[in-house]
Structure 1
């Protein structure tokens, strides 16, 4: 399944994997929230509360669509965070892996704290 994530100065699409967390996210769409930033990561609250999955990871590739179970938030890293070592994307704690951003995740650099964010299914 593909989703669209949009904010006032931009948008992107992402492809979700076939995981329990990704299916739960898809079932909860559309979601409207408010953006937060943490280094080169955008995250925002969701109405979901999910258990940590067995393959959860803290260090991920830029452009990973992750679910931060401790904060019930979608986490979208595109570069280093305040706790990264070097250029890695290190999330605050292990997160469920839900999918990947299509294209260049650096478009997320245009998201500002407090921006309204909308996540919705991508319709063909």
Structure 2
């Protein structure tokens, strides 16, 4: 069962926590619910969150559906395809991110045109 409800515009997505970055995940969980106006960068949306944690197990290449914390910008990122930093179809962040959750079905994100209002809360 999914742990998180993610609203992107009119779409509702489900996501589950991962264990890759437990300290980052716990800091984000403590800040929930969060929401903001997201910017789009390729097939990535990102928005500021009230979380400030040091880099944990960060990386630039992430799987499709990754929900990741970007320490450099104190932002939460949703990845569903290539970004300007990608060299193939694999999503790639502008700088290292900490993956904290994975979206069950990224299909609705294909309809996002530009930025969107994003909200994340516990399910």
When normalised by structure 1's length, the TM-score is 0.89
Q: Quick one: which of 73, 88, 92 aligns to 1:86?
A: 88
Q: Does 1:47 align with 2:50?
A: yes
Q: What runs of 5+ residues in structure 2 fail to find an aligned partner?
A: none
CA RMSD of aligned residues (A): 1.5
| Alignment size in residue pairs | 120
Deviations 1:3-50 (Å, cap 9, x if unpaired)?
111033201011112411111111101112111110011111101111
Contact 1:42 1:76 in 2 (8 A): yes
Contact 2:45 2:115 in 1 (8 A): no
Contact 1:9 1:111 in 2 (8 A): no
CA distance in 1, matches of 2:43, 2:115: 15
Residues 114 and 37 (structure 1 numbering): CA distance in 2 closer, same or farther, change over 3 Å? Answer: closer
Q: Quick one: which of 15, 25, 28 aligns to 1:25?
A: 28
Contact 1:79 1:88 in 2 (8 A): yes
SS at match of 1:27: helix
SS at match of 1:116: strand
CA distance in 2, matches of 1:112, 1:86: 21
